[in-house]
Structure 1
């Protein structure tokens, strides 16, 4: 640090302010210090900084699986969002329960943790270590922690209303796992939209988020004229099952998914779906957590990220 100060012609305190991103440095001086740091190969020492600040600049991510598209996209987006705030990310699986995960994170001296999607269902009886700040992604209101989630119910209602607007008498639903908060919210939005329209509410079929479970649900849904699927992967399996039963999409059955995975536009036919903004969701979760770590006032009021209907070719109007 002394060498950087000498090279840039500033005090050691000024170098320290630049390293710690203090606003009390004018842009020209900051640029001169950063140029000296680059020329000399200077890097802040994370362990030394942790001793001084009491923070490790690391946050944990607790998950149960990365096999689903949503979880893997959340991992990437969370890592990017954490890096933008100057934090490293460490991963811990909740296969042995969240208590074990929190213990591992405490031993690694992380500053806080994000509990991801399915792992949030394990939080009901969880007792995290004192001082470990938490943000839970996809959790019911009143869990006792800060939480962030997409507008699952609103998106599902939008998909259902769209299918009804095409002239379908009702909309069937291929739901996600019963233990999933996101699946329950999407089912709630679908149900409320049908009730508001005054039409029959069919018994939902249920899958496990995977395409194979969507294919398996094909028999139960083969007589439907419109199906809202709780995610795009199950919709993909359903479309294949319908085709094998001689039911064309969208001519015979309109199908709408949820998530808007990158491949959805290349399904056959291109899938109408609800766009879930994983990047915004991850940035919001990281922002809430880092703000709490750095001393901002925390709140237990859930942060809700909007969703949006993306219309493609897998749903069409009913011919009269």
Structure 2
């Protein structure tokens, strides 16, 4: 019986070829120059023609050649963002605002998260983004830029958000000192003899500046400066600190360096039977939307992260487009929002 032998010939798979500009032009019934103008977002194309070209691009799956476009326009049309901790409320809000402002300026955003807070990690993040052909980079909350040995690429436009740059780079920051002073002054004005402080991590410039302003405000007022307590920005660290503070009868007011730690602190006080604000007033910092719905609603310092993100993109575009002579530092002033988590101390309490 004859056995049929089947041989399997290899399938030839041609590399995928992306549609060309000429193919888009043919489908849309326009010239290649018109397709180029649409691809580069030029404004000398009427709306009906633009719609036809965009429809043809979508139907064919056309992808613009960013390298070729950069030769014509001088731009790649992308901004890079490096952030150490995207999980933090402020960083996440700033990143969202950067993306919104970039989109309005016809730029995309490439994000690079950095876990290790080391010079090597920062340099690697910048190198990675530069390989992605970005026009400029925003560094969000850097703990490393004041280190003299860290050298960022000199030809790359850089803006720093929420970090101490030593004025080496254009930067955008909140007036942390003003925000911390306003909340401590508010608590002292209510009659508290002093204010305890639950600070953020020791390696955070924002936490350092808030703690320095807290200490200075107490000193200027002639108030006792209690021992500084450190958390890690998390509600859990606030809860642990709150369990200890709840056992100290002399504590009548606490300023937490962010709202998440204030939330954990308040839970610990509730569980320990301490009334807020009757026994202990609590204030936070950041102004998260949920702060208005804490129990009781939290007095906090509101920071407008959207404004910070937009300032970052504006400063970056100034560098990319060669605009000089404008300000390279922009400070955003936070606003104290007073709610019912703070009030006067009980008569005869405090130390």
SS in 1 for 2:285: strand
CA contact (8 A) 1:98 1:122 kept: no
* Bigger shift: residues 294-303 or 168-177: 294-303
* Aligned partner (choices 70, 73, 92) of residue 50 of structure 1: 70
SS in 2 for 1:78: helix
Aligned match of 1:138: 162
1-structure distance, mates of 2:167, 2:87: 26
Aligned match of 1:62: 82
2-structure distance, mates of 1:120, 1:137: 11
TM-aligned CA deviation for residue 142 of structure 1:
2.0
Moved segments of 4+, more than 6 Å: 1-4, 7-10
CA contact (8 A) 2:77 2:106 kept: yes
Deviations 1:150-181 (A, max 9, x none): 11111111111111111111111110111111
Deviations 1:283-310 (A, max 9, x none): 1111111121111117785310110011
SS in 2 for 1:126: coil
Aligned match of 1:121: 144
Q: Report the CA distance shift for 1:245/1:102 in structure 2 as closer, same or farther (over 3 A).
A: same
TM-score by length of 1: 0.87
* Aligned partner (choices 335, 345, 348) of residue 308 of structure 1: 335
Aligned match of 1:272: 299
Residue 151 (structure 1) aligned with residue 175 (structure 2)? yes
Deviations 1:96-134 (A, max 9, x none): 5101111111211211111111x3435523211231111
Say which one has the larger Rg: 2
Q: Report the CA distance shift for 1:298/1:63 in structure 2 as closer, same or farther (over 3 A).
A: farther
Unmatched runs of 5 consecutive residues or more in structure 1: none
1-structure distance, mates of 2:29, 2:180: 57
Residue 206 (structure 1) aligned with residue 226 (structure 2)? no
CA contact (8 A) 1:134 1:289 kept: yes
TM-score by length of 2: 0.80
1-structure distance, mates of 2:46, 2:178: 46
Deviations 1:251-270 (A, max 9, x none): 11101100011211111111
Residue 81 (structure 1) aligned with residue 101 (structure 2)? yes
Q: Report the CA distance shift for 1:112/1:254 in structure 2 as closer, same or farther (over 3 A).
A: same
CA contact (8 A) 1:176 1:209 kept: yes
* Bigger shift: residues 213-222 or 285-294: 213-222
Q: Report the CA distance shift for 1:60/1:89 in structure 2 as closer, same or farther (over 3 A).
A: same
Unmatched runs of 5 consecutive residues or more in structure 2: 1-20
TM-aligned CA deviation for residue 316 of structure 1:
1.1
CA contact (8 A) 1:172 1:221 kept: no
CA contact (8 A) 1:250 1:313 kept: yes
1-structure distance, mates of 2:270, 2:325: 51
Alignment of 1:228-239 (within 5 A): 228-239=255-266
Q: Report the CA distance shift for 1:275/1:21 in structure 2 as closer, same or farther (over 3 A).
A: farther
2-structure distance, mates of 1:258, 1:121: 23
